[in-house]
Amino acid sequence: MRRCDVSKSGRLIIVSNRVAKPKRRGAAAGGLAVGILGALKESGGMWFGWSGKLTDRETRDPKISRSGNIEYATVELNERDFEHYYNGFSNRVLWPVCHYLLSFMQYESADFDGYRRVNTALARKLAALVKPDDVIWVHDYHLIPLAAELRAAGISNPIGFFLHVPFPSYEALRAVPNHEYLLRSLCAYDVVGFHTERDLACFQQSVTQPDIGGSLLPGGDIEIGGGRLKADVFPIGIDVDELQDLSLAAQSLSRVKSLVRSLAGRDLMIGVDRLDYSKALTQRLLSYERLLEKYPNTQSNLTYLQIAPPTRSGVRAYEEIRAELEQTSGRINGRFAEADWVPIRYLNKGVDRKRLMGYFRNSAIGLVTPIRDGMNLVAKEYLAAQDPEDPGVLVLSTLAGAAAELSEAVLINPYDRDAVADGIGAALNMPLEERRERHDVMLKTLRRNDIVAWRSRFVEALHGR
């Protein structure tokens, strides 16, 4: 829905729920933050969003700071509104529905109202910062209504939206009260981007429902309400060279050396996930247990390191996951451990980026088995960190967005414990030549769809509206 002509010399303004200012080199960061920082590092611009601080007052004007070529504009949010907007509607409704986990959905009308209030407040604060030739790129499900609110505030600049989680089928989405409002809000954007063709198809199916009124045009654009928007696939990527260099440099770190020594020649399998029910971490531990049962030769020969930083503290569902994970890992260790070997090493904390890349490089298997995921950058980071001459093997869920690009991984259904166990077994026994061939093909894919390509393709599409 192009409103004005925009010069490509204008700023890129990126908007996300949380602005993650880099505190120190190598600090751990989530997939969205990595993607946004990579995009802004290339082009410069502004990152606007919540500061991470709450207040009992109304949302005030943003605080502005600068680091290199990136300007950070952050606002404090009202504590009551934040609870409804973030812990409420965003994470008890949108998150489970987008991941096809409707049994976790808990809808409250007060949460929906808070979601709208926060988006209105953010739009008003952002509108005061926008210059005529800026382009605006909004990220993720927390901010679906933002474009409509910016339009109401008089902003005519091109506005794009990228969804970092899966887009659900219409049959799942229609379970959400006010889902029509969400779909019409998405249609206020000029460009809407997804990770996979599957997500795009679900969106197209949803906005062309009779009660929404969109029409799919021959070129792929969607016509609705007298305007047009472009919806397309833009798979997010990584900086391959940076991660390769980081993983190589990390071999000199004392903690990486200590990990390698502690393995005593055993193979290492690694998983890195936020503590979230969509990651299927308990199911993953049970699949590893099945591996130890089916393939006794893996006992005392394969160590599984699971890194699961806490997330969304105070939300009951996540506290239950943590307790269940600790209980399951303890039980499996008690069943199979020997005096000189513990099957599972479980870390409920983050690991800095450089050290993590070092761990990846020393891992024979990267285990990425979510029951649903938008992309999963861990899968790509694991591959980039490998030694091309002796690479490890990626065991990947078919329900992760990354599986659409990385078909040379060992693909498994995360609901099938035997399939996961067999996949790990196949990875452990894969000949070196086959490992090299698979890794080489996937690395070429990573380079073709790297972080610069992701940003460039999306912003180019936005400029073209």
Which of the residues are catalytic? 164, 373
Which residue from 162, 29, 49, 133 is spatially nearest to 455, judged by alpha carbons? 162
Classify 144 as helix, strand or coil. Answer: coil
Say which residue the tokens 């899966």 belong to.
Answer: 166
Which residues lie across from 272 on neighbouring strands?
307
Buried b (16+ CB within 10 A) or exposed e, 274-295: bbbbbbbbebbbbbbbbbbeeb
Going by their DSSP bridges, the two strands 393-397 and 410-412 should be labelled as parallel
Strand locations in 130-266 (E): 135-139, 159-162, 191-194, 215-216, 222-224, 227-233
| Residues across the chain | 465
State how far the Cα of 196 lies from the Cα of 41, in Å rounded to an integer. Answer: 25
Residues 6+ apart with CB under 8 A from 334: none
Q: Give the strand order in the sheet containing 227-233.
A: 63-67, 70-78, 45-55, 12-18, 135-139, 159-162, 191-194, 227-233, 222-224, 215-216
Tally Cβ neighbours within 10 Å of residue 33. Answer: 19
In whole angstroms, what separates CA 223 from the centre of its chain?
A: 29
In single-letter form, the type of residue at position 355 comes to R
Cα-Cα-Cα-Cα dihedral sign, residues 102, 104, 106, 112: negative
In single-letter form, the type of residue at position 3 comes to R
State how far the Cα of 389 lies from the Cα of 408, in Å rounded to an integer. Answer: 17
Cα-Cα-Cα-Cα dihedral sign, residues 366, 370, 371, 374: negative
- Helices marked H in 376-431 — which ranges? 377-384, 417-428
Is 40 in contact with 12 (CB distance < 8 Å)?
yes
State how far the Cα of 128 lies from the Cα of 122, in Å rounded to an integer. Answer: 10
- Helices marked H in 8-66 — which ranges? 31-43
